[in-house]
Structure 1
Amino acid sequence: MSSHLLSIDSLSRDDIDHLVRVAARMEPIASRRKITRVLEGAVLGNLFFEASTRTRVSFHAAFSRLGGSVCDTTGFTFSSMAKGESLYDTSRVMSGYCDAIVMRHPDQGSVAEFAAATNVPVINAGDGPGEHPSQALLDFYTIDKEFALQGKTLRDAHVLMTGDLKYGRTVHSLIKLLSRYAPMRITLVAPPGLEMPNQLIERVSRQGLDVAVRESLAGDFSDVDVVYTTRIQKERFTAEMSEGFNLSRDFTVDRAFLDSRCGPATLVMHPLPRDSRPAANDLDIDLNGDPRLAIFRQTDNGIPVRMAIFATLLGVEERIDQDLRDVPWFVPDRLGVDDASF
């Protein structure tokens, strides 16, 4: 594994398998049964120049649960970039303060530019419509865990990706990652103008994925193992695209779609946030409490996966099992009132 995590392109299948194994060892810590201080004294710089709740807090929590401390900055307003500071200068300055850096930025390629100026490990937490490699890793970890519970394997799995496939950086990273585990079937369904980039489809097809493109969610999806749906990224639309855009209810993943067109064990995933406003036609809240809905198990899995990334980049993954003790505080058996086992 390279010294930074900027793209799925930098990870081999062996790297991914290693991170999955380390993440599994992090589960007792992530689920608040054990404590480790393996990164005690280390400092994380958490630099988010674009809105985030889950990713920012998840990285913060993951580093903290390894015993480290975190320095946060959010938005351009309170950063020196508002004064014209370059990515190069910001990178070099932060490298003097931090042992690892997580960065989100609205411009594609910006995190790679930032990382080029430092030898401190940098993790890409999203660069505009580019990539989101840690999200793809936690998505893959979720699929792997859920399949194990069902007695399934990844080989020849069928994944439906729907929603904003043009600007949705999570699907860009995930389809790259899944190509490492071909043969596998991928079906893509997107509203007009929001299709997966052709060059990405061509690339993963060459790597062994069987990719089919469909125009709608009508029809039979009973052989689909995973439905991965994404929010429409209106914040990345041009003014011309925004004018008059209205997402049809035909692209909504809800209980009716799942019950009538998918199989009884089809897993439903979403990188979140989902837009729960009725007119948004995003992943429907009528699936809340349904065990097929894996979105909160997905977010929970972000902690052990991001812990694994930190431990691997900083070279302490082999010390985890030597540095554990029991937690002394109360931890509920179920984190959410609607949590259900699948």
Structure 2
Amino acid sequence: MIKFQGNHILSVSQFDRESIAKILDVAAQMMPYASRQKRCHVLDGAILNNLFFEPSTRTRVSFGCAFNLLGGFVRETVGEENSSLSKGESLYDTAQVISGYSDIIAMRHPQMHSVAKFAEGSTVPVINGGDGANEHPTQALLDLFTIRSEMSRFEKGIDNLDVVLMGDLKHGRTVHSLSKLLSLYNNVKVTMVAPDALQMPDNVISTLENAGHKVVLTDKIAGNLACDVIYQTRIQQERFASKEEANLYRGHFSLNKQVYEQYCKDHTVIMHPLPRDSRPEANELDVDLNDLDNLAIFRQAQNGVLVRMALFALALGVEDKLTDYEKPITWATNK
């Protein structure tokens, strides 16, 4: 198992199964705090600097909430134009300065491998919140936590999983990272539903195949959705040369209740990293699925707080001290 305390979390390639199990188990321990049954101030006085140089809602806010729920303080920089990077400062210099103000840093940046470059200059742990089309390791971990949680309802696990990845698999960093994590498990079947131009990168496919898993590539929905989990992704317009190019693929893999009932199993769970594109020309996941018990997209988003709380606790070495710093909540809650 890797050493978490004091170390960066930059890529899913850092993890083995034992390390992942540790993260997911610590995440489960965070449930009372995330659900406001109790509060925990184990990180009282600690400072997170949230550096988000690319637009984000869920990832940025959940990182901040996760740190606050453990008692820490959050400072944010949103947009490269609001930082000294816009004045020509290097990632290394920025890291040297910001890490002096922080106990830990979460960072998102539009360029591939930029977070790792930033981490080279940081004196405190850095967590990758997404680096271009490369990776999104915390999303992959929360996705795995969600799969484990959802499959437990059907007495299934991650081993022997039958999963469909669908949509923009070329640019979707979430499915790149999730596929690499799935390669660590046993007897996984991965069906990749995408147009040829947006199919999964060869290196990700090879990672799964070299681990002995069955990979099916197709551009057809019909006959390919009878699985345990469907992981839908949006067309990543920001990764295309133009909006017009992105529009060529928008709306090709829409999932609605009729499609679900026709092609999926009774227990098929639907996941999506969000935001889902609900515009008529895209409509990736129709609102007629909102009352479906197996639509897990909002539980998935909530799980992001649990997993990021776990990563903060592990990186700062407090995962075994949580209960020592518990307090009752002092406000009214409807939960």
- TM (norm. structure 2) is 0.96
1:193 is matched with which residue? 197
How far apart are 1:325 and its partner, in Å? Answer: 1.8
Greater Cα offset, 55-64 or 244-253:
244-253
The 5-angstrom pairing of residues 136-151 of structure 1 reads 136-151=140-155
Greater Cα offset, 205-214 or 23-32:
205-214
Take 1:119 and 1:209, find their aligned partners in 2: how far apart are those partners?
39
Alpha-carbon distance change, 321 to 162 in structure 1, aligned in 2, over 3 angstroms: same
1:247 is matched with which residue? 249
Greater Cα offset, 320-329 or 289-298:
320-329
Paired residues of 1:191 and 1:215 also in contact (CA < 8 A):
yes
Q: Say whether residues 1:75 and 2:79 are aligned partners.
A: yes
How far apart are 1:248 and its partner, in Å? Answer: 5.9
Greater Cα offset, 147-156 or 230-239:
147-156
| AA partner of residue 271 (structure 1) | P
2:241 is matched with which residue? 238
How far apart are 1:6 and its partner, in Å? Answer: 0.5
Alpha-carbon distance change, 244 to 186 in structure 1, aligned in 2, over 3 angstroms: closer
Paired residues of 1:8 and 1:133 also in contact (CA < 8 A):
yes
Q: In the alignment, which of 226, 236, 250 is matched to residue 229 of structure 2?
A: 226
Q: Secondary structure at the match of 2:231?
A: strand
1:86 is matched with which residue? 90
Paired residues of 2:100 and 2:123 also in contact (CA < 8 A):
no
Paired residues of 2:271 and 2:296 also in contact (CA < 8 A):
yes
2:13 is matched with which residue? 9
Q: In the alignment, which of 310, 323, 326 is matched to residue 321 of structure 1?
A: 323
Q: Secondary structure at the match of 1:275?
A: coil
Paired residues of 1:276 and 1:282 also in contact (CA < 8 A):
yes
Take 2:42 and 2:15, find their aligned partners in 1: how far apart are those partners?
24
How far apart are 1:332 and its partner, in Å? Answer: 2.0
Runs of 5+ in structure 1 lacking a partner? 334-342
Greater Cα offset, 68-77 or 278-287:
278-287
Runs of 5+ in structure 2 lacking a partner? none
| AA partner of residue 63 (structure 2) | F
How far apart are 1:63 and its partner, in Å? Answer: 0.2
1:285 is matched with which residue? 287
2:55 is matched with which residue? 51
2:211 is matched with which residue? 207
2:307 is matched with which residue? 305
| AA partner of residue 109 (structure 2) | H
How far apart are 1:247 and its partner, in Å? Answer: 3.0
RMSD: 1.3
| AA partner of residue 82 (structure 2) | F
1:340 is matched with which residue? none
Paired residues of 1:102 and 1:122 also in contact (CA < 8 A):
yes
Deviations 1:227-266 (A, max 9, x none): 0000100111024x84473336441111111111001110
2:332 is matched with which residue? 330
Take 1:244 and 1:299, find their aligned partners in 2: how far apart are those partners?
25
Q: Say whether residues 1:97 and 2:113 are aligned partners.
A: no
Take 2:101 and 2:303, find their aligned partners in 1: how far apart are those partners?
29
Paired residues of 1:7 and 1:133 also in contact (CA < 8 A):
yes
Take 1:262 and 1:172, find their aligned partners in 2: how far apart are those partners?
24
Take 1:11 and 1:28, find their aligned partners in 2: how far apart are those partners?
26
Paired residues of 1:188 and 1:213 also in contact (CA < 8 A):
yes
Q: Secondary structure at the match of 1:300?
A: helix
Paired residues of 1:216 and 1:250 also in contact (CA < 8 A):
no
Paired residues of 1:39 and 1:66 also in contact (CA < 8 A):
yes
Take 2:288 and 2:116, find their aligned partners in 1: how far apart are those partners?
40
Take 1:190 and 1:221, find their aligned partners in 2: how far apart are those partners?
13
